[in-house]
A and B are shown apart, each in its own frame.
Chain A
Amino acid sequence: MRPKVIWLQGVTCNGNSHSFVNLPDIEDCLRRYDWLYHPVLPSSCTLDELSDKECDILVLEGGLKPGWRKGEFDLEKLFLRLAKRAKKVVAVGSCAVYGGVFREYDENITGVLFSGAQKTKHYKSLAQKTVNIPGCPAHPEWIAFALDAERVKLDTYNRPKELYAYTVHSGCMRNEYFEWKVDAEQFGTKEGCLYYRQGCQGPFTHGSCNKILWNETASKTRVGTPCFGCTEPDFPKRDLFATKTYMGIPATMPLGVPKRAYLTITGIAKSFHIPRLHKRLFDED
């Protein structure tokens, strides 16, 4: 028997559905499950037929808002009814996990277990069975991992450690520039670290974007765009393309690094001029 899946959409932009269909082995993944409902993929039921159904995996994409209607249904109530019977709930994307971008507009919009970093009223009843896959959008491989996974180790935001124990900084190809404190002067170049001026949140954001690459090819930081910290409860912040600094010192330190330690190391690193790191990687550019 293939596990039965229902994928509901709350207040959402559809981004996680789009992300999911970019899974390289999407056909194999779809075949592994009995899709009772998905808003854009072939499935056996309509929304109207769901209220009495039972599923093994209930996916929520998008935020929950009390009283918000989808067709004839109060979406939150429908979600809670199905969640009670489901063996596993997967909250996909930062809106379903924390409220995300939509919560910026309306604080009544929350994730399943969290509203920002605060626990919601559903936490107690659903935390045991919920796997959170934040991201804006969530990486397709992370979604597939959560559908498949059983008894995974979760962090304090119910994110699988397998995916979120790392920082986005881990595996970034700009690490040499970070170590020697060489800034990127602009976006889109191969050279320079984006943390000091360009707003990169990779050193303090949990995620495996530089371990499990996007489109099996790249990541934001690899192509020269700062990480926006989309897997964290305080996403989205403002002014994402500039590093917030106080007297030139980044306002947020790399994860777990004391400010004094950071300033000591970077002050010393910057004292050395490494010519190779100040040149273009491809001289013919």
Chain B
Amino acid sequence: MARISKEERKRQIMDTALRLFSKEGFFEVTIADIAKEMKMSAGNIYNYFSSKDALAKELILYISKYLGNQIRQINMQPLSAKEKIKQIVELYFKTAKERPELIEYFLRIYLSNREVFKDGCEGMICVSPFVTEIMIFFEEGVRSGELRDQDFFSAFGLFMGYLGGMVFLMGEGMLPNDIEFYTDEIAENIYRALKNET
């Protein structure tokens, strides 16, 4: 068996944990369950994460970096805000469809269990890579005159609340269509809500 680096093994543990948390629920899954799934000893997992809470915090940072890096790629392109909105919606829904455990972890575990994250993941700390890119998207959209100037959280809530709500409905099995079916209309709705009308 080819040797893999410690970083790669760590990533494998995180991917496994995300999958199990998504399927069984955060509080139901123990470090021993993750170890069993990975055919490792529980003791070995503790070489990578000192506790389940420490793993939980690293996971949200991992997801935030994963999404942040991809939004960054969109931000770096010479696109209008309208086109960027479309690409961000596409990215979010594609991720929700192909790797639902990432978005579910964010919505169902991170946002719903703040007590797990209160030490070390306060405020923006663990979601900074993602939120920073959304800030840059908004700032550049307003600076260019394409988007209306307003409070950041008013706009952030509209954009991310909307996308999160759709993925939540998807997770509950309540959407009659595949989530990607809604991309164009939702991107258009977000653009119309944020655009500068003057």
Contact = CB atoms under 8 A, between A and B. Distances in A.
Contacts of A260: 132, 136
Interface in B122-152: 122-125, 128-129, 131-132, 135-136, 138-143, 147, 149-152
B122 A272 contact: yes
A32 interface: no
B42 interface: no
Interface residues of B, number: 23
Contacts of A40: none
B143 A246 contact: yes
A181 B161 CA distance: 26
Contacts of B139: 246-247, 249, 259
Contacts of B131: 267
A270 B147 contact: no
A256 interface: no
A247 B128 contact: no
Interface in A223-266: 245-249, 251, 259-260, 263-264
B52 to A, nearest CB: 22
A263 B142 contact: no
A54 B153 CA distance: 64
A1 interface: no
B128 A267 contact: yes
Given A247-B142, A247-B149, A272 B123 contact: yes
Chain B facing A: main interface SS: helix
Size range of the chain A interface in the assembly: 10 to 19
A47 B135 CA distance: 58
A259 B136 CA distance: 8
A87 B131 CA distance: 56
A85 B114 CA distance: 74
Contacts of B125: 268, 271
B124 A246 contact: no
A268 B152 contact: no
B160 interface: no
B14 interface: no
B143 A267 contact: no
Contacts of A268: 123-125, 128
Contacts of A271: 122-125
A259 B143 CA distance: 13
Nearest to A248: B152
A162 B17 CA distance: 57
Interface of A: 245-249, 251, 259-260, 263-264, 267-268, 270-272
29 contacts: A246-B138, A246-B140, A246-B149, A247-B138, A247-B139, A247-B141, A247-B142, A247-B149, A247-B150, A247-B152, A248-B151, A248-B152, A249-B139, A249-B152, A259-B136, A259-B139, A260-B136, A263-B132, A263-B135, A264-B128, A267-B124, A267-B132, A267-B135, A268-B123, A268-B124, A270-B123, A270-B124, A271-B125, A272-B123
Given A245-B149, A248-B152, 15 more contacts: A246-B140, A247-B139, A247-B149, A247-B150, A248-B153, A249-B135, A249-B139, A264-B128, A267-B123, A267-B128, A268-B124, A268-B125, A270-B123, A271-B122, A271-B124
